[in-house]
Amino acid sequence: MRLRELTRFDNIVIQCHDNPDADAVAAGFGIYRYLQGQKKQVKLIYGGREKIHKANLLLMVEALDIPIQHQQEPLDAELLVTVDCQYGEGNVTHFDAGQVAVIDHHIDMGHGADFKDIRSGYGSCSALVWQLLGQEGYDLGEDKDLATALYYGLYMDTNSLSEISHPVDRDLRDCVKFHEGLILKLRNTNLSLEEMRIAADALRSYEYQEEGHFAIVKTQPCDPNILGFISDLMLQVDIVDLCVIYCELPYGIKLSVRSCVRTVRANELAEFLVQGVGNGGGHAQKAGGFIPKTNLELMAADCEPGRYLYGRMEKYCAGCELLYAKDYVFDREGMGRYEKIPQRLGFVRLVDILEEGTQIMIRTLEADIEMTVERDVYVMVGVRGEVYPIRKEKFEHSYRAVAGEFRITEDYLPSIHVRESGTILPILPRAHACMPTGKTSVFAKCLDHTVKVFTAWDGENYMLGREGDYLAVRTDDLHDVYIIAAAIFEESYRMAEN
C-alpha cells in the first residue's frame, strides 16, 4: 500500500489502539503529518476507558506537540486508519467509518479492510511508517519532531533497540536525526514505582532448569520495556544462560528473551518459542515475541502459557547439534555430490569501492555481517539476495565474470554500511554478474534435525540449519562447511553426474 492512496479522501481519522504506547502514537503522528501536508482534514485519536497517563508518553506528546485526542463519541469520517493495530481486534475501540485502512506490524488477523499494509516481520510500526513516508519522498530531515517520535517509537517497541527484528528497523535506527536531549530525557522517564514492584515480585517467582541453564519468569501485565528490564536482571544470575520473561495481556502474551552464550541466538530462540502461534525476533543477545490471544488455543491442550513455554525451551535445548568447521571430521554417509546450476549470480570486489582496511557492516534480510575490507575478499550475492564472503582464489576457481547486469527483486536488498562515515552503499548497483565455472561441487545432505555450524570464516557466530535445510561441504576443502537454506539449495544446485 502507498500512503498516496489515502489522499483520495478528505475527512480522515487516524486511530491508535486503546491505551496507546509510544510506537502507536509515533506511527499515528507520522501518518497525520503526511496527510496534513496533503491539505486533508485529519484527526489523530485513541479510544478506551483510560486516558494516556504514563509519564514518558505525556512528555513525548507535549514536547513534540502531537495532537492526539481521547475519543469516546461516534466518528464522522470518510476513512478510518488504524495504526499499530487492526480494525475489529479487541484492543481497538470500534468506530464506524466509510472505509477502513490498516497499517500494522503484528500478525494479520484476517479482518476486512479497504486498504491494508501489515508487515509482521517488523519490530515496530514506526519503522513501517518511516518506510512508507520515504516512498512518498517525505523529508524527515525537515521534520525533526517526527523523526524523534518515530525513533522513540522504535526504541520503546524493541525494548531499547535490543529486540530489533528487521533491517528496516535497523535502517530507521541508524539513519534518522533526532532531538538527542529529549530522547535522553524520555529514556529516563520509563519506570514507575508500580513497575519496580512488578519487577521485584516477578524475580521472586522464577522456574529454573539446571540441564539447559534457563529460567522462565511470569510477570503481572506490564509494558514491554519492563519485561526487558526484568530479563536483563535475570540474565546476570551466574547460572542462567537463557531466560524468557512473559506476561499475559488482554490481547495476547508478550515475551522477552535473553541469551549470553554464543551457541544460542536470542532472536532464533524467540522465533522457535512462538513458531506457528505468533511472531518473534531481535538479535543475538536480546529478542522478543508475541502470541495473539486468538492463537492461544493453538498451543498445547490443557496447557497454560508457562508450561507451554517451558516445554518449548526443553525441546529447543535438547534438539540441536553443534558443528565446528575447523574441527570437522568429514563423513560422506548420507551425502550426495551436487554442482551449481548455471545461473547468473552477483559479486562485488570490495577494494573497487572502498579502501582496504575499511570497517564495514553488510546489512541483509537475514543478519548484519561485520567485516573488514581486504584485497582478496569478494562478496557474493545469491539469487535470493543472500550474501557471503569468498576469497579471490576460490572465486576465480568457482566462478567467471560475465557481461551484463546482475538483478534480483526481493523485499529487502543488501547494502554496505561504512562504519566510520555512516555512508550507506546499495550493493546491487555495484555488483558484477558471474556464472559458475562447473569446476567445483559440494557434498550435501538434507537435515532431519537442527544443526548449528560455526564456519571457517567466523568461529563466534553460527549458521543455523533447520529440518529440511542442507548441510554442505566443498569437495575441494572439507573444512569449508556451511548451511544452505532449503529454498536456495533447490533453486541453485543439482545432483552431479559423476
User: Which contacts (CB < 8 Å, 24+ apart) does range 99-107 have?
Assistant: 99/9, 101/1, 101/6, 103/1, 103/27, 103/31, 103/128, 103/129, 103/132, 104/128, 106/279, 106/290, 106/292, 107/278, 107/279, 107/290, 107/292, 107/295
Please tell me whether residues 485 and 466 are part of one structural domain.
yes
Final residue before a domain boundary, out of 300, 318, 336: 318
Q: Greater confidence, 91 or 429?
A: 429
CATH number, position 266: 3.10.310.30
The answer to whether 467 touches 448, Cβ cutoff 8 Å, is: yes
Please tell me whether residues 426 and 287 are part of one structural domain.
no
Please tell me whether residues 348 and 450 are part of one structural domain.
yes
Final residue before a domain boundary, out of 138, 161, 187: 187
Q: What is the mean predicted confidence (pLDDT) over 332-355? A: 92
Burial class (CB in 10 A: 0-12, 13-18, 19+), 277: buried
| 430: DSSP letter | G
CATH number, position 73: 3.90.1640.10
Q: What is the mean predicted confidence (pLDDT) over 362-376? A: 84
Report the candidate in 90, 121, 80, 85 with the shortest Cα–Cα distance to residue 103: 85
pLDDT at 302: 56
Please tell me whether residues 120 and 255 are part of one structural domain.
no
Please tell me whether residues 367 and 466 are part of one structural domain.
yes
Please tell me whether residues 248 and 174 are part of one structural domain.
no
Give 300's pLDDT tier (boundaries 50, 70, 90).
Answer: low
pLDDT at 191 exceeding the cut of 90 = no
pLDDT at 301 exceeding the cut of 60 = no
Side chain identity at residue 276, one-letter code: G
CB atoms within 10 A of CB 192: 16
Q: What is the mean predicted confidence (pLDDT) over 131-151? A: 95
What total number of domains does the chain contain?
Answer: 3
Ranges of H-type helices in 321-431: 350-353, 392-398
Please tell me whether residues 246 and 311 are part of one structural domain.
yes
pLDDT at 44: 98
Residues with Cβ within 8 Å of 357's Cβ and at least 6 positions away in sequence, in order, are 372, 373
pLDDT at 380: 93
CA pseudo-torsion sign 453, 456, 457, 459: positive
pLDDT digit string (tens) for 203-237?
A: 998 999 999 999 999 999 887 778 888 998 999 99
Q: Which domain holds residue 209?
A: 193-318
Final residue before a domain boundary, out of 154, 187, 220: 187
Residues 145, 60: Cα–Cα separation, whole Å: 10
Secondary structure element (H or E) that encloses residue 385, with its range:
none
Please tell me whether residues 284 and 226 are part of one structural domain.
yes
Please tell me whether residues 110 and 215 are part of one structural domain.
no
DSSP 128-175: HHHHHHHHTT--GGG-HHHHHHHHHHHHHHTTTTTT--SHHHHHHHHH
pLDDT digit string (tens) for 400-455?
A: 999 988 988 887 888 898 887 778 898 999 999 999 998 889 999 999 989 999 98
pTM of the model: 0.66
pLDDT digit string (tens) for 232-266?
A: 899 999 999 999 999 988 878 999 999 999 899 88
Give 383's pLDDT tier (boundaries 50, 70, 90).
Answer: confident
pLDDT at 160 exceeding the cut of 90 = no
The answer to whether 220 touches 198, Cβ cutoff 8 Å, is: yes
Q: Greater confidence, 46 or 412?
A: 46
Q: What is the mean predicted confidence (pLDDT) over 446-473? A: 88
Please tell me whether residues 230 and 137 are part of one structural domain.
no
Q: Greater confidence, 405 or 61?
A: 61
Please tell me whether residues 179 and 228 are part of one structural domain.
no
pLDDT at 13 exceeding the cut of 90 = yes
Please tell me whether residues 28 and 177 are part of one structural domain.
yes
Q: Greater confidence, 48 or 180?
A: 180
Mean pLDDT estimate for the chain: 90
